[in-house]
Structures are given as structure tokens and as C-alpha cells.
Chains A and B, each alone.
Chain A
Amino acid sequence: MLNKRAVYIYQISATFFLMSLILSLQPIMITTLYIMTFITLYVIAASRELKKVSKEDFVSILSVNPNPATINYEVRVKGSIFLRKWRKLLVKIEIDLGDLHLVRGSNVWTGALSAGKEVLVEFAARSDDIGIRFIGPLRAAVFDPLGILVREFEIYPRTAILFLESSKLISQPILHSKSRHPSPGLSKDSFVGMEHEYRISLPEIHEPQAKRIDWKKIARSVEEEVYVKQFDKLKRADLVICIGSGFDIELPDNGTVEAKILQQVLLVTLSHIMEGTRIWLAKYLGDGKFATTLLGYSSFGLKLIEAKDIPRNLQMIYLTRFIDDSEIDAIKQLIESRQIDPIVIAINLGEELLKYHGREYASKILEVEDRRLRLNADQLGLRYSVTDIEKLQETLRRIISFRRRI
């Protein structure tokens, strides 16, 4: 491919050639025609060598630290590139900043790359917004010695960075089990959670076991119902949680809807990840495209693992507001192509309005929004739940623990 510089030179030569042809300006005609001839012949000669260069000739690593990160704090990005063969190549390496702002360093490197020589592209970036942001891809543009021809390669894909509001989840300590429970789960308990904490107390229909009775809740309760402690049963499974459209809304208290939802998702899923459940986090980007990352856990806390695609045959929880027109088709296509077992959670933000507007006005909106969400969800023909931000955590918890609709 012609380099932009060479294209401009050729365009200017051709334009001046035409003008000189009309005005019969022989010196300009000859000069421009000579340049055009030179570029064409050079392209034929130089492209053969450039064609031999391939993506496989490069070895690259792109690391981001920390990930997940906290908003307004720096994230260090390091790209490392080797060349397997070739004596010397003129290369321009660039790491696309995506939605991030460059703070220090440079995301571009230009120079001669030779086999065995490592090139490092290091810089610091940050994001002002909460959510899944992307860095990359890492691109290499290989030039011929005169810079007339160029070949571009995407040698490392986009990498997801999760930006959170606070560092709580990032530094949350891991609870090491003393048992010999097989990896990847950490405890031998049949219940999910740390320190055997239970999630909810429910009214017991049958005769309760004394050790499961929640005496404190009964004492506080005015009703005569007996409450028993209900534990989340451990169910290791592969799961994908998709963040759909319509959450990029700023709330009056400086937060965003997406941030709140992500926080809820992470709070619920963290213990499941620790217990061995593999959870992919996907984000709908519009036009039927999804970006994916795998949530992991290490001794430093929550971490993101690179995942290029959503695997097949797993369960999916799809959170959405059905704002994007093409989203329904995208969901259908995703389910069909990967044989996914889906549950859709439609988030009604009308409840949020109650905090800021009159009840009558908010109730009307709530109803209209509820109808719209159900109408869209019906089009999908899938199991779905409609909930609000406040109840999302509980809805998610029940779905993940019991795989049932709330």
C-alpha cells in the first residue's frame, strides 16, 4: 500500500501534470511525469520484498497494570515487540489509545527494528469514565527504505481495562482455603461466600431445622413468620454477563448508570469467581459487535484476562435497556451462533426518577418504560426479568445461584 506521503506526492504531481499539459509548460510536465514514473516503478520493485513480511514475523506482548483500575488514576501500558527474522525493517509501532487519555510517555515508536532486538513502547494513561475501556490494538506499519510503500499489521488485539469508581474491589483480599479443594474453586463448602456468610433470609414453608433459623430476623420481625438462613448453593458454571445498550447515562450524583451496574455485577460475581465459576464480561458496542473479557482473581484481587470472543455453550445474563435498534438482532445472532442459554434482565430506570421527581410523574414514566422494556423483551422470545438498579444485585444473585427467573 502506498504511504500517505507518497500518495500526496503522486496526487500533486498528477495535478500539476494536467495543468502543465493544458498550459503547455514543458519543464513542469517533464518534472511531474518523471516523479510519477519513478513512484510507479519503485512500487513494483519494492513491493515484492515488503510482501514477504507477515504478521507472524512479529512477537508482541501488551500489558496493562493495574487492571481493573480506578478512574482518574494512571494505568501503565507496556507494549513489547520482537522481530523473529529479517535483518532490518523500518517500522512504526503504535498502540491505539482508544478511550483513554495519554498522561506520560508516547504510544508511538518509529525506527529500525532488527531480529532479536526488543522495542518497548511504554506510557501512562487514564480514564475519566467508569466501565470497560479498551487499549490497543497494537499496530505495526512496515515501510520500505524510502517510505513510499507501507504494510500495516495488527499484531496485538484490543485489551479491555475495567475502570471502577473505587479501589475496594481491586484490593479485596482473597480468602485462602485450608482444604484441598480442586482448582479453580477455593473452598470445599457447598455454599458460596466468604466466612460462610449467607445472603438472604426467606420465610420457611416447611418445618425448619433449628440451626438454620434466623433468630435475629424473627426477633426484629413484626409478623409471625419463621425465617431461615438460605445459603447460595455452589454451582460452578461458565457464564457470560453482557452489558447492553442504554447505560451511558450520567446520574445527578456524579455517577453513571453503567458504573452502578458494573459495581453491582462485580459485587455479586466476585465470590462466584473465587469459587471457580468462569465469568466473561461482555459489552455491546453497537452494530452487532461485542467486546469481551474474562474476569479472574489473583492474590492481588480482581483481574481481567484477555478473551477475544465469547465461548460456546454457556449461560448468559444480558443486562439491557433496549436502546440500540440493532441490539435485539445482535442478541439473537449471538445466542444462535454460540448456543447460549440466556436470561435477559431489562433495567427500568424509572425507579431512579422517584429520587429526583414527584411520585406521580415518576410513576407514569415507570409504567411507560416498563411497557417498552417488556415489548422489546417479548420480541426476543427469551426468559426475561424486569428490575431496577436497586434490586439488580438481588436479581443477579438469585439468577447466578439458582439459575432462575426473578
Chain B
Amino acid sequence: MRLLEKILVILICLPSIYSSVIVFTALKAPDLFLLMGFTGLVLMVLSGYMVDVIIAALYVPAIASFILFLLNYPQPIMGLAAGYVIALTLLLLLVMFNHDSPHTYLAIYLISIFLDMSLLAASKTSTTSELLLRNLFYGVRKFHGVMDPVFSIVIVPSVAALLYHIFRLLKPSTSTITSSHRSLIILLLSSLPILGLTILSRYSPGYAWISSTILSLILTIFLVLYLNLGVKIT
């Protein structure tokens, strides 16, 4: 992986890294199996699926926790499961990074953001691995997003990196979203209505909700009409 790609991956994974850090800091006591579950999965992907790493970091803790579970000690397996769930948000983005279809990567990214938000919501108060899992699964019904200012800030470079990644794939072309003035200006112009909506949501969330719905409808209808009437292929 080239340096640029490494930077891109790190930037795209920023929200997931942030949510993982928050979950770890919210733990009442350090959980060895949770840590092993998290690092095991991450190491497996980063090592390029090396057999030795998979056996040491994945199979050994899994077998050990399962034996303990059979001996009536369920905490280790719960910790391991919680570690896997936390690692999942990172893994999705890492594994799918070189996938050919950018729309799949976008969907994966949005799912990962949703999981990050769920993790952040589940670890609002100090927690344990069992509580974290319970909050994650039972809290979905009551879950209505999370307002974490740092999380909102880290999403900005992450989305920028995501756009750079998904709109550069016409090989052997080397064009990227930042290589032309036009796309850079449009990137800035696009952020204006979003900025307006964000400010509006501070004062009146209801109006912001309606405005964003109207904006999305206008965009879609305009795009359909413009492409069918404006630039019809002759």
C-alpha cells in the first residue's frame, strides 16, 4: 500500500478509531479478552491474513474463552464478542478499501458510521463488556443518534478522504477530486447548503429536517430532469 493510500485509510477510519478509543476509555476495568478480540481481528487484516497471526491472535483466545464458557465463566467470551464488535467498524473499512465498486464502499462506510454512533451511544456512561453488548443490542430501539462534537469534527476529514477515494477510479486515469479547480470549487460550493442546514438545526431542528428533505428532493428531481432534457445523448 502506498503512502497516499495509507493516509487515506487512516483518515477514512478516523471516526471508527475515535469511537473505539471512547469505548475503551468508558470501560470500568480493563478487559483482557475484549482487548484480545479487538487486536486479534485488526492484526489479522493488517498482517495480510498470516496463518501464524490468525492462530495466535484469533484461534487461541477464541478457544480459551470457549473452554472457560463451558466451565461456567461467561465473561471472557462476552469480552471477546465485545472486542469483535468494536473492531468491526474498523475492519469493514480496512477490508473493503481496495474493493472495485465505490458504491459498495460508500454503503460500508455509512454502515460503519452507524455502528460508530451506536458504540458511542452505548458507552455514554462507564461500562463493562457485558453492559456494552446489552446497550448495543437493546438500545437500538431507543437509539436516535448521538451528538458528539469531536465525532462530528473527525467525520469532516474522513468524508473528504472518502470522496477522494471513491471518485478517482477510472484507471489508468490519474485524475482525482483535487486535481482540477472545478471539482475543488464544487466541493466548497456543496458544503455551503450543508453548513446552512447545520446552523439552522442549532436553532430549529424541525426546520432543518424539512429543509434537508426539500433540498434532497430538489437535487434528485433536478438531476433527473437535467440529464433527460439538458444533455440528452444524440
Contact = CB atoms under 8 A, between A and B. Distances in A.
A41 to B, nearest CB: 5
Given A12-B103, A28-B114, A41 B189 contact: yes
A11 B166 CA distance: 14
A35 B163 contact: yes
Interface of B: 15, 101-103, 106-107, 110, 113-114, 117, 143-145, 147, 151-152, 155, 159, 163, 166-173, 175-177, 179-180, 182-183, 186-187, 189-191, 193-194, 197-198, 201, 209, 212-213, 215-216, 219-220, 222-223, 226-227, 230-231, 233
A16 B110 contact: yes
Contacts of A51: 231
Given A36-B216, A37-B190, A90-B173, A148 B107 contact: no
A38 interface: yes
Nearest to A30: B194
B216 A10 contact: no
A34 B194 contact: yes
Interface of A: 1-2, 5, 8-14, 16-17, 21, 23-47, 50-51, 90, 110-112, 143, 145-149, 151-152
Given A36-B220, A40-B219, A5 B169 contact: yes
Given A11-B103, A46-B182, A90-B173, A30 B198 contact: yes
A30 B227 CA distance: 25
Given A26-B145, A30-B197, A146 B183 contact: yes
A31 B110 contact: yes
B212 A12 contact: no
Given A12-B103, A39-B223, A147-B170, A33 B194 contact: yes
Contacts of A33: 193-194, 197, 212, 215-216
A14 B106 contact: no
Contacts of B231: 1, 47, 50-51, 149, 151
Nearest to B168: A146
A27 B152 CA distance: 7
B179 A145 contact: yes
A25 B116 CA distance: 11
18 contacts: A1-B231, A1-B233, A2-B227, A8-B101, A8-B102, A8-B103, A12-B103, A26-B201, A27-B15, A38-B190, A43-B226, A47-B231, A50-B231, A90-B175, A145-B175, A146-B177, A147-B170, A147-B173
A134 to B, nearest CB: 23
B173 to A, nearest CB: 5
Given A90-B173, A145-B175, A41 B186 contact: yes
B114 A9 contact: no
B156 to A, nearest CB: 9
A145 B166 CA distance: 13
A36 B159 CA distance: 13
Contact of A9 (B145, B166, B168, B179): B166
Contacts of A50: 231
B203 to A, nearest CB: 15
Nearest to A38: B190
A112 B174 CA distance: 10
A177 to B, nearest CB: 49
A1 B167 CA distance: 16
Contacts of A14: 216, 220
A25 B171 contact: no
